[in-house]
Amino acid sequence: MTIRLAGIRSGGVGMARKGMETVRRRQLIQATLQVIHDQGLQATTLGRVGQQAGISPGLVAHYFGDKRHLLASTYLSLVRSLEQEYRAARAGTAAGLPRVRAIIDANFAASQSDAVTVSCWLSFWAQVNHVPSIARIQRVVTRRLESNLTHALAAFLPRVEAVRLAEGLGVMIDGLWLRASLRTGGLDVAAARALAHRYLDSELHALTGGPHVQTA
Protein backbone atom coordinates (compact mmCIF):
# COMPACT_ATOMS: atom_id res chain seq x y z
CA MET A 1 0.00 0.00 0.00
CA THR A 2 2.78 2.40 0.88
CA ILE A 3 4.65 1.57 -2.34
CA ARG A 4 1.55 2.23 -4.39
CA LEU A 5 0.97 5.62 -2.79
CA ALA A 6 4.62 6.52 -3.28
CA GLY A 7 4.27 5.68 -6.94
CA ILE A 8 1.26 7.92 -7.23
CA ARG A 9 3.06 10.73 -5.48
CA SER A 10 6.09 10.25 -7.70
CA GLY A 11 3.96 10.34 -10.82
CA GLY A 12 2.19 13.43 -9.58
CA VAL A 13 5.48 15.15 -8.89
CA GLY A 14 6.75 14.15 -12.32
CA MET A 15 3.67 15.56 -14.02
CA ALA A 16 3.94 18.74 -11.97
CA ARG A 17 7.58 19.14 -12.94
CA LYS A 18 6.76 18.59 -16.59
CA GLY A 19 3.99 21.16 -16.39
CA MET A 20 6.30 23.63 -14.67
CA GLU A 21 8.94 23.04 -17.33
CA THR A 22 6.41 23.83 -20.05
CA VAL A 23 5.38 27.01 -18.26
CA ARG A 24 9.00 28.04 -17.70
CA ARG A 25 9.93 27.44 -21.34
CA ARG A 26 6.95 29.52 -22.43
CA GLN A 27 8.00 32.33 -20.09
CA LEU A 28 11.55 32.25 -21.43
CA ILE A 29 10.33 32.38 -25.01
CA GLN A 30 8.21 35.42 -24.15
CA ALA A 31 11.27 36.99 -22.55
CA THR A 32 13.29 36.23 -25.69
CA LEU A 33 10.67 37.88 -27.89
CA GLN A 34 10.83 40.99 -25.73
CA VAL A 35 14.65 41.10 -25.82
CA ILE A 36 14.65 40.72 -29.61
CA HIS A 37 12.12 43.54 -29.85
CA ASP A 38 14.07 45.81 -27.49
CA GLN A 39 17.66 45.07 -28.54
CA GLY A 40 17.62 43.13 -31.80
CA LEU A 41 18.40 39.53 -32.67
CA GLN A 42 22.18 39.84 -32.68
CA ALA A 43 22.20 41.42 -29.21
CA THR A 44 19.97 38.70 -27.77
CA THR A 45 21.96 36.50 -25.38
CA LEU A 46 21.15 33.91 -22.74
CA GLY A 47 22.21 36.46 -20.15
CA ARG A 48 19.85 39.16 -21.40
CA VAL A 49 16.99 36.70 -21.71
CA GLY A 50 17.66 35.52 -18.17
CA GLN A 51 17.72 39.10 -16.94
CA GLN A 52 14.42 39.82 -18.71
CA ALA A 53 12.88 36.70 -17.15
CA GLY A 54 14.44 37.26 -13.74
CA ILE A 55 16.49 34.05 -13.71
CA SER A 56 20.12 33.06 -14.22
CA PRO A 57 21.63 32.46 -17.69
CA GLY A 58 22.44 28.94 -16.50
CA LEU A 59 18.75 28.16 -16.08
CA VAL A 60 18.04 29.46 -19.59
CA ALA A 61 20.77 27.13 -20.85
CA HIS A 62 19.23 24.28 -18.84
CA TYR A 63 15.98 24.59 -20.80
CA PHE A 64 17.33 25.44 -24.27
CA GLY A 65 20.98 24.47 -24.36
CA ASP A 66 22.38 27.40 -26.29
CA LYS A 67 21.36 30.56 -28.12
CA ARG A 68 20.79 28.75 -31.42
CA HIS A 69 18.24 26.38 -29.92
CA LEU A 70 16.61 29.18 -27.93
CA LEU A 71 16.13 31.27 -31.07
CA ALA A 72 14.82 28.32 -33.07
CA SER A 73 12.28 27.58 -30.33
CA THR A 74 11.30 31.24 -30.23
CA TYR A 75 10.77 31.34 -33.98
CA LEU A 76 8.66 28.18 -33.74
CA SER A 77 6.50 29.95 -31.16
CA LEU A 78 5.72 32.65 -33.72
CA VAL A 79 4.87 29.98 -36.28
CA ARG A 80 2.55 28.21 -33.85
CA SER A 81 0.75 31.47 -33.11
CA LEU A 82 0.12 31.90 -36.83
CA GLU A 83 -1.02 28.29 -37.12
CA GLN A 84 -3.54 28.91 -34.35
CA GLU A 85 -4.98 31.72 -36.46
CA TYR A 86 -5.20 29.32 -39.42
CA ARG A 87 -6.99 26.70 -37.32
CA ALA A 88 -9.48 29.28 -36.11
CA ALA A 89 -10.03 30.40 -39.69
CA ARG A 90 -10.76 26.86 -40.84
CA ALA A 91 -13.01 26.06 -37.89
CA GLY A 92 -15.10 29.20 -38.06
CA THR A 93 -15.87 29.43 -41.77
CA ALA A 94 -17.46 27.40 -44.54
CA ALA A 95 -15.31 25.69 -47.13
CA GLY A 96 -14.45 27.48 -50.35
CA LEU A 97 -14.18 31.22 -50.84
CA PRO A 98 -15.13 32.18 -47.25
CA ARG A 99 -12.24 30.07 -46.01
CA VAL A 100 -9.80 31.69 -48.44
CA ARG A 101 -10.83 35.08 -47.12
CA ALA A 102 -10.49 33.87 -43.54
CA ILE A 103 -6.93 32.69 -44.24
CA ILE A 104 -6.09 36.14 -45.61
CA ASP A 105 -7.54 37.75 -42.50
CA ALA A 106 -5.60 35.36 -40.25
CA ASN A 107 -2.31 36.67 -41.62
CA PHE A 108 -3.29 40.23 -40.72
CA ALA A 109 -4.86 39.37 -37.35
CA ALA A 110 -4.07 41.41 -34.25
CA SER A 111 -1.87 38.60 -32.93
CA GLN A 112 0.32 38.99 -36.02
CA SER A 113 0.41 42.78 -35.99
CA ASP A 114 1.48 43.85 -32.50
CA ALA A 115 4.84 45.60 -32.20
CA VAL A 116 6.76 42.76 -30.51
CA THR A 117 5.52 40.08 -32.91
CA VAL A 118 6.23 42.23 -35.96
CA SER A 119 9.78 43.13 -34.96
CA CYS A 120 10.55 39.49 -34.15
CA TRP A 121 9.17 38.18 -37.46
CA LEU A 122 11.24 40.77 -39.30
CA SER A 123 14.36 39.88 -37.31
CA PHE A 124 14.00 36.20 -38.10
CA TRP A 125 13.21 36.80 -41.77
CA ALA A 126 16.49 38.70 -42.05
CA GLN A 127 18.30 35.51 -40.96
CA VAL A 128 16.64 33.10 -43.41
CA ASN A 129 19.51 33.24 -45.92
CA HIS A 130 22.16 32.88 -43.21
CA VAL A 131 20.86 30.41 -40.61
CA PRO A 132 19.84 26.96 -41.93
CA SER A 133 17.57 26.14 -38.98
CA ILE A 134 15.62 29.38 -39.50
CA ALA A 135 15.47 28.72 -43.25
CA ARG A 136 13.97 25.27 -42.65
CA ILE A 137 11.27 26.69 -40.42
CA GLN A 138 10.48 29.43 -42.93
CA ARG A 139 10.10 26.89 -45.73
CA VAL A 140 7.51 25.11 -43.61
CA VAL A 141 5.69 28.41 -43.01
CA THR A 142 5.56 29.14 -46.74
CA ARG A 143 4.42 25.63 -47.64
CA ARG A 144 1.66 25.66 -45.05
CA LEU A 145 0.30 29.00 -46.19
CA GLU A 146 0.22 27.81 -49.80
CA SER A 147 -1.23 24.45 -48.75
CA ASN A 148 -4.03 26.08 -46.75
CA LEU A 149 -4.85 28.41 -49.62
CA THR A 150 -4.68 25.64 -52.23
CA HIS A 151 -7.02 23.40 -50.25
CA ALA A 152 -9.56 26.20 -49.83
CA LEU A 153 -9.33 27.34 -53.46
CA ALA A 154 -9.56 23.79 -54.83
CA ALA A 155 -13.08 23.58 -53.43
CA PHE A 156 -14.27 25.75 -56.32
CA LEU A 157 -11.38 25.95 -58.82
CA PRO A 158 -9.54 23.33 -60.89
CA ARG A 159 -6.51 22.04 -58.99
CA VAL A 160 -3.94 23.59 -61.33
CA GLU A 161 -5.57 27.01 -61.03
CA ALA A 162 -5.91 26.65 -57.27
CA VAL A 163 -2.17 25.94 -56.94
CA ARG A 164 -1.22 28.87 -59.17
CA LEU A 165 -3.49 31.31 -57.38
CA ALA A 166 -2.36 30.07 -53.95
CA GLU A 167 1.27 30.77 -54.88
CA GLY A 168 0.47 34.28 -56.08
CA LEU A 169 -1.77 35.06 -53.14
CA GLY A 170 0.84 33.76 -50.69
CA VAL A 171 3.47 36.07 -52.16
CA MET A 172 1.01 38.97 -52.08
CA ILE A 173 0.12 38.33 -48.43
CA ASP A 174 3.78 38.19 -47.37
CA GLY A 175 4.68 41.31 -49.33
CA LEU A 176 1.73 43.34 -48.09
CA TRP A 177 2.29 42.23 -44.49
CA LEU A 178 5.93 43.25 -44.79
CA ARG A 179 5.11 46.66 -46.28
CA ALA A 180 2.51 47.38 -43.59
CA SER A 181 4.75 46.09 -40.80
CA LEU A 182 7.66 48.34 -41.71
CA ARG A 183 5.43 51.28 -40.78
CA THR A 184 7.11 53.61 -43.25
CA GLY A 185 3.79 55.24 -44.07
CA GLY A 186 1.23 54.86 -46.81
CA LEU A 187 -0.04 51.39 -45.90
CA ASP A 188 -1.39 50.07 -42.61
CA VAL A 189 -2.51 46.55 -41.72
CA ALA A 190 -6.16 47.18 -42.62
CA ALA A 191 -5.22 48.61 -46.01
CA ALA A 192 -2.83 45.72 -46.65
CA ARG A 193 -5.55 43.19 -45.85
CA ALA A 194 -7.97 44.97 -48.17
CA LEU A 195 -5.42 44.91 -51.00
CA ALA A 196 -4.95 41.16 -50.54
CA HIS A 197 -8.71 40.66 -50.87
CA ARG A 198 -8.79 42.85 -53.97
CA TYR A 199 -5.98 40.80 -55.53
CA LEU A 200 -8.00 37.65 -54.85
CA ASP A 201 -11.13 39.19 -56.40
CA SER A 202 -9.21 40.34 -59.46
CA GLU A 203 -7.67 36.93 -60.04
CA LEU A 204 -10.97 35.12 -59.53
CA HIS A 205 -12.70 37.48 -61.94
CA ALA A 206 -10.03 36.77 -64.55
CA LEU A 207 -10.44 33.02 -64.05
CA THR A 208 -14.22 32.77 -63.86
CA GLY A 209 -15.52 36.02 -65.32
CA GLY A 210 -17.86 36.46 -62.38
CA PRO A 211 -17.93 38.95 -59.51
CA HIS A 212 -16.96 37.92 -56.02
CA VAL A 213 -18.19 39.61 -52.89
CA GLN A 214 -15.31 41.44 -51.25
CA THR A 215 -14.82 41.50 -47.49
CA ALA A 216 -12.24 43.79 -45.94
Instruction: Output the pLDDT for position 19.
Output: 75
Instruction: Among 14-23, 38-47, 82-91, name the most confident range.
Output: 38-47
How many structural domains are present in the chain?
A: 2
User: How far is it, in rounded angstroms, from Cα 171 to Cα 123?
Assistant: 19
10 confidence band (pLDDT: 50, 70, 90): very low
Dihedral angle sign, alpha carbons of residues 150, 156, 159, 164: negative
| Domain ranges, residue 51 | 1-65
Judge if 145 and 201 occupy the same domain: yes
For residue 190, pLDDT beyond 50: yes
> What spatial distance separates the first Cα and last Cα of the chain, rounded to whole Å?
65
CA dihedral 73, 120, 82, 202 (to 10 degrees): -140
**What value does the mean pLDDT take over residues 26-48?**
97
Judge if 126 and 74 occupy the same domain: yes
Average model confidence (pLDDT) for the chain? 89
Share of the chain above pLDDT 90, in %: 79
- Summarised one tens digit per residue, pLDDT across range 132-151 is 999 999 999 999 999 999 99
Judge if 79 and 41 occupy the same domain: no
CATH of the domain at 9: 1.10.357.10
Share of the chain above pLDDT 70, in %: 88
Judge if 97 and 110 occupy the same domain: yes
Judge if 41 and 131 occupy the same domain: no
